[in-house]
Structure 1
Amino acid sequence: MKFIDLSIPLGIGTPAWPTYEPLQVKYFKRLAPNGANGQLVTHSNHLGTHLDGEIHFYTPGKDIASLTLDFLTGPGVVVDLSDIAGDYDIYTSQMVEERVDVHEGDILIIHTGFHHFGWDQPTADEIAYMVKHPGPDREFAEWCKAKKIKWIGVDCGSADHPMNTIIRNWMPRQAKEADAHFQAKYGQPLADVFTDDKYQLMHIEMFPYGIIHAECVGGDIDLLLN
């Protein structure tokens, strides 16, 4: 058996989801004059490579401690969409199925290539990583339900399209770019594609079905590309 690490490094430079507490480290005692070094480490639970639990968006849902190892492990596929899903693009179930065989109950890891914009990379670009990455529409979510996907992983800031999150309001310059992109590529304004009833659908509409996801996947994911 071979293990491949799909996590990103954790440090004070690791970007947290906007408004979430980043990693903070401070000394509360030092070798001189206190006789020992002691540090206090704090961070939110939405930092670095992490798995969103159902309870994150679904009140009666399971927390992470309730998940079994049987659920967390199992057959899965890694699909490389990096050459067809770029800035602000929408990826679809058809794109996935054209490249890999996905079976009922699989774990699905989506490689967009945006992990190369991660904070520890030579090509680091936090805005690209958190704000410009591709994401799905409701069609993809419904396909995941039909396939009974066990859980999903993405190599970027969110399993949702960033413009289908609060980021659209927080980053107006990029929202304007995305709107122009949507009109040019999809023939519709951003607001007509991601309507209010679709808001954060990969979280709100999926977690009640037990389909959760890991965000900020990275590490050695390139070793697994087909």
Structure 2
Amino acid sequence: MYDLTQPLSHLTPAWPTYEPLQIKFFKRLAPNGANGQLITTSNHVGTHLDGSLHFCTHGRDIASIPLTDLIGPGVVVDLSDIAEDYGIYTSKDITDRVEVREGDILLIHTGYVKYSWDQPEADEVRYMVKHPGPTREFSAWCKKMKIKWIGIDAGSADHPMNTKIRDWMPAQAKECDAYFRKKYNKSLEEMFPAEDYQLMHIDLFPHDIIHVENIGGQIREVLNKRLIIGCYPWRFVGGESSICRIVAFDEE
């Protein structure tokens, strides 16, 4: 078994503007012999499953997702050799490295897990704001392949500059625009037009192709391997998303 889950504590950064985890003891062993805690948190802290209800009004809540959609065969692909700040990855980058089968679970290792809050090179801005991401070509491929769900070792399954982060971080948006113009001869607006906004959420969730963000833990031990992969969220009635645990098992 491999635990692909990021550690969770009050130090774990939530996705920008989301409520972080807050925890306190409301009772201790004395005088009644039991410890008890209260937590307040959003669903988007640490390793978490974005449910389709997160962006889709008619989407399923977390409790409605069958276990067969959460657990099954899949692959972990290592893209760290091409990953760079604001980079773009494509379906071909995936299939050049691993065999992806229809209905697979797909976990993507960009290498930006090394900037996670619990790592020696921790860099919250780089992890949340500068990690690589895909374009519409990739979301179309996910639908064609009927991918069960996607996991990413960074802050979002979408490119950060295809989210509200573009507006919140103007200096980094300007930096990304310059990068796109130099590498792809396209502006940031041309690369991610308004109709493509958060396409990994908005385009895929109506098809129940959802994703897990902030994968971590032992992911570097299973790169480019085929595994049985399980996502274990709360059985959360009405939940739009859920903190979860990701476990991978060797197929044999």
**Structure 2: which 5+ residue stretches go unaligned?**
225-252
- 4+ aligned runs moved over 6 Å, structure 1: 31-36
Instruction: For residues 42-95 of structure 1, give each alpha carbon's deviation from its aligned partner in whole angstroms, at most 9, with x where no partner exists.
Output: 111111101111100011111111112111111101110011121100100011
What does residue 25 of structure 1 align with?
23
What does residue 52 of structure 2 align with?
54
Q: 1:195 and 1:55 mapped to 2: Cα distance?
A: 24
**Which of 158, 163, 166 is equivalent to 2:164?**
166
Q: TM-score, normalised by structure 1?
A: 0.95
What does residue 14 of structure 1 align with?
12
> What residue identity is the alignment partner of 1:24?
Q
What SS class does the counterpart of residue 78 from structure 1 fall into?
Answer: strand
Which structure shows the bigger proportion of residues in strand conformation? 2
Q: TM-score, normalised by structure 2?
A: 0.85
What does residue 119 of structure 1 align with?
117
What does residue 108 of structure 1 align with?
106
Per-residue deviation, 1:30? 5.6
What does residue 153 of structure 2 align with?
155
Mark the CA change 1:35 to 1:99 in structure 2 (over 3 Å): closer, same or farther: closer
What does residue 140 of structure 1 align with?
138
Instruction: For residues 6-35 of structure 1, give each alpha carbon's deviation from its aligned partner in whole angstroms, at most 9, with x where no partner exists.
Output: 100001111101121101123445667998
What SS class does the counterpart of residue 219 from structure 1 fall into?
Answer: coil
What SS class does the counterpart of residue 3 from structure 2 fall into?
Answer: coil
19-28 vs 40-49, which deviates more?
19-28
What SS class does the counterpart of residue 138 from structure 2 fall into?
Answer: helix
Per-residue deviation, 1:40? 2.1
**Which of 190, 204, 207 is equivalent to 1:206?**
204
> What residue identity is the alignment partner of 1:77?
V
- Equivalent pairs counted in the alignment come to 224
Which structure shows the bigger proportion of residues in helix conformation? 1
Per-residue deviation, 1:96? 0.6
- Aligned-residue CA RMSD (Å): 1.5
**Structure 1: which 5+ residue stretches go unaligned?**
none
What SS class does the counterpart of residue 90 from structure 1 fall into?
Answer: coil
Bigger relative CO (Cα 8 Å, ≥ 6 apart): 2
**Which of 209, 219, 223 is equivalent to 2:221?**
223
What does residue 249 of structure 2 align with?
none
> What residue identity is the alignment partner of 1:43?
T
Q: 1:205 and 1:159 mapped to 2: Cα distance?
A: 12
What does residue 74 of structure 2 align with?
76
Per-residue deviation, 1:36? 6.7
Mark the CA change 1:33 to 1:96 in structure 2 (over 3 Å): closer, same or farther: same
